[in-house]
Amino acid sequence: MPAETRPPENGTVPGQDADTLLARTARGDERAFELLYDAVAAPVHGLARRVVRDPAMAEEVTQEVLIEVWRSATRYDPGRGSAMAWIMTIAHRRAVDRVRREQSAGEREARAARHGPGAAPDPVGERVETRLEHERVRRCLGTLTRLQRESVTLAYYGGHTYREVAELVGAPASTVRTRMRDGIIRLRDCLGVDR
């Protein structure tokens, strides 16, 4: 694509911003979605690539995100932030979900390998193990201060950005970052996760 026709990577196209294009997309305007796609595909892919690391998987995540944007454009609320921020939040959630899914699959395969070839999977044992892991996380979350727990929970389970968490808890973004950093360090130590 020639440089003069390539959309910039900041979510805008000449004469229209991502907010306008997303609003038109919500009304079913396919041309607006094409322009939006061209404008946001590179930043979405970049974020996905940073999170999942695998190029092929990042491409899959990018496609999933853009399909979700098309399908759920009507849910975008401009009062809660820019279209680009909304799209990048979707991208971050999808990428993190993919990493978690891949890790879970790898752990299941490792457990199956420990039981030997031909061993039948033990769904009850796996559920118990998962439940115990969830209990450990809940117990460790309980060791955090209320403010740390609230910030970490909103970010990791709610999928909110630092800024969104700051708005939700009524604190400066720098304070939220510090709370989350300290909370994550405490969680890592409690769970015995290697750095």
The per-residue pLDDT for range 95-143, each reduced to its tens digit, is: 988 888 888 777 777 766 666 665 556 677 677 777 777 788 888 888 8
Segment 160-185 mean pLDDT: 83
Residue 178: which residues within 8 A CB-CB, separation 6 or more?
none
Segment 153-158 mean pLDDT: 77
Q: What pLDDT shows up at residue 130?
A: 74
Closest by alpha carbon to 49, among 36, 39, 62? 62
Question: What residue type is 101 in one-letter code?
Answer: R
pLDDT at 26 over 90: yes
Q: What is the dihedral of CA 45, 49, 52, 57, to 10 degrees?
A: 60
Q: What pLDDT shows up at residue 145?
A: 87
- What's the pLDDT band for 9 if we cut at 50, 70, 90? very low
Question: pTM to 2 decimals?
Answer: 0.53
